[in-house]
Amino acid sequence: MLSNDGVVAVERALSVLDCFRPGAEHLALADFAQRLPLHKTTIFRLLNSLARCGYVVREADGRYGLGPRVLFLARVYERGFDLSAVVMPILEKLSADTGESAAYYVEGGEPGQRLCLFRHQPHEGLHSQVIAGSVMPPDKSSTGQVFAIWAQGTQQRADTDLPIFSCGARDPYTSSWSVPVIGQDDLFVGALTVAGPSERLKTVDAARFEALILDRADELSRRLGASTEMRGVLYGRG
């Protein structure tokens, strides 16, 4: 039987690469030692192996930077990346766990607009009628508030509790929870929303729903490249 245990040396080498980030593109050996629970000698050997394979380069001043092999893999990833293959499983799981509609929104073509890019709902029962492809104007719904705060910047982020909840904001019969989704460089990329009839949502375990949407937003943001630190700040996870 094959084991799920990783190879320690490989995981250590990847942890070395994870030390690079915006604002820390060039690192000395001492910088790695501060960031990693590894001896300097071990880090030095790992850096030499990564340099031989083109994943890091040693610069003239003795510091290290990412090598061309990383850029090559990034290009391969970009060409094979399918956003729907990342988002839809998250929506399907969230919808199955809550019994309500789950949707992913991105910015629309005009300032303030938002586009329902992907959506999933259970096959039975009464549900929100927003469909994928719908363009929504600014409003006070939970999703509208997420975009007002993280996309348009017309509201303050400070002291904003997540997820945001609204009842009867877009129409008098619908309630929803929404959270921002972040990606590469910890930038806002969209909103994850659970919506359903207000009368039904009044009877659900709100704390459970909130925990579920935060978990799924954390998972989606991780898969889109958000940092552990920012995910921890937004979702209390990571």
The pTM assigned to this predicted structure is 0.69
Distance CA 200, CA 168 (A): 13
The residues near 60 (Cβ < 8 Å, ≥ 6 apart) are: none
Question: pLDDT tens digit string along 162-193?
Answer: 999 999 887 888 999 999 999 988 999 999 99
Rounded-to-integer distance, Cα 129 and Cα 121, Å = 10
- For 11, 25, 50, 89, 195, the CA distances from 15, given in Å and listed in that order, are 6, 15, 12, 28, 39
Q: Say whether pLDDT at 238 is over 50.
A: no
Structural domains in the chain? Answer: 8-72 (1.10.10.10), 81-235 (3.30.450.40)
Residue 201 DSSP one-character state: H
CA distance 12 to 117: 38
pLDDT in tens, 105-160: 998 877 778 988 899 987 665 555 667 777 888 889 999 999 999 987 766 676 78
